Amino acid sequence: MVLLIQCTDRKGLVATIANVLAEYSLNITTLREFVDQDSNQFFARFVCEGSADYTAIKTDLTIALPQDASITINPNPDKKVAVLVTKEYHCLSDILVRNHFGTLGASVECVIGNHPDLEDLCNRFSIPFHFVSHEEKNKETFEQEIISTLNSYTFDYIILAKFMRILSPAFVATYPMQVINIHHSFLPAFIGAHPYRKAFERGVKLIGATAHFVTDSLDEGPIIAQETISVNHTFTPADMVKAGKEIEKSVLAKAVQLILQDRVFVYGNKTVVFE
């Protein structure tokens, strides 16, 4: 059993939770907790052995914990994802390989592309591919076609695997904190398009990638994972792009794994991540 709790902090919370779990003969095998002192917020992830009435446990915890407590017990272990792409294949191919060998942590239900370029790749892995063109239509119509396609599937998260279109607030509101993006920059540096060109022009010595939840603010949603690599004066923009693709795959894979294992709490525009 996995138990996730977020609430206002107070003394004795861990003991209170442990006592409730003990009453149901559950053995705590893993416990990670954190208190944000500035907001006085408590976050905890328990992994327990044993079986019990989850509804009864949640009722008892609701009574014992602060009134604002968010309690999730045994999140769905068999998660599903949809993937949105444009033309770049490196992130999608990594996802499909992990899905094929059962190491992704979820099943890929479908891939939707605003160009047809990656259909053959999806066909090789027997994953449904849907081409939804953005050309000669306004954003509302384009996004509604994507939503209509997504409505044919059941999924927990949408992964933007180099989907090079800015999503509208209406689309984001349809899937709150369900859309995960990989940005080819170490945010908050070089927000928006062409970050490698901007990094080259600035003469930086580090480039990176950032996986984050998508919000209404471009590339400013809660950050899940980041990594950097060193570059130097000999790197051209093309060299940076080539190096960046490898780190983009790594960061996106890490972020997806953390989310699918229920290790990420979102609070305001920040995250608490129990790695």
Q: pLDDT digit string (tens) for 187-200?
A: 556 666 667 677 77
211, pLDDT greater than 90: yes
* pTM score of the predicted model: 0.89
Q: Taking the chain, what is the end-to-end CA distance rounded to the nearest angstrom? A: 18
**Per residue in 39-70, pLDDT tens?**
999 999 999 999 889 999 999 999 999 999 99
Number of domains within the chain: 2
Whether the pLDDT of residue 203 is over 80: the answer is no
Tell me, yes or no, whether 210 and 130 share the same domain: yes
C-alpha atoms less than 13 angstroms from C-alpha of 250 in its C-beta half-sphere: 11
Query: Is 262 known to be catalytic?
Result: no
Q: Do 40 and 90 fall into the same domain? A: no
Specify the pLDDT at position 193.
67
CATH classification at residue 30: 3.30.70.260
Band (123; pLDDT cuts 50, 70, 90): very high
Q: Which of 50, 73, 96 is the last residue of a domain?
A: 73
- What residue has token string 């138990």? 3
Tell me, what CATH number does 142's domain have?
3.40.50.170
Distance, CA of 58 to CA of 56 (rounded, Å): 5
Q: Are both 89 and 218 inside the same structural domain?
A: yes
Catalytic residue among 53, 60, 120, 219: 219
Averaged over 3-29, what is the pLDDT? 97
Q: State the Cα–Cα distance between residues 56 and 35, nearest whole angstrom.
A: 26
| Mean pLDDT, residues 240-255 taken together | 86
Q: Give the Cα separation of 129 and 52 in Å (integer).
A: 41
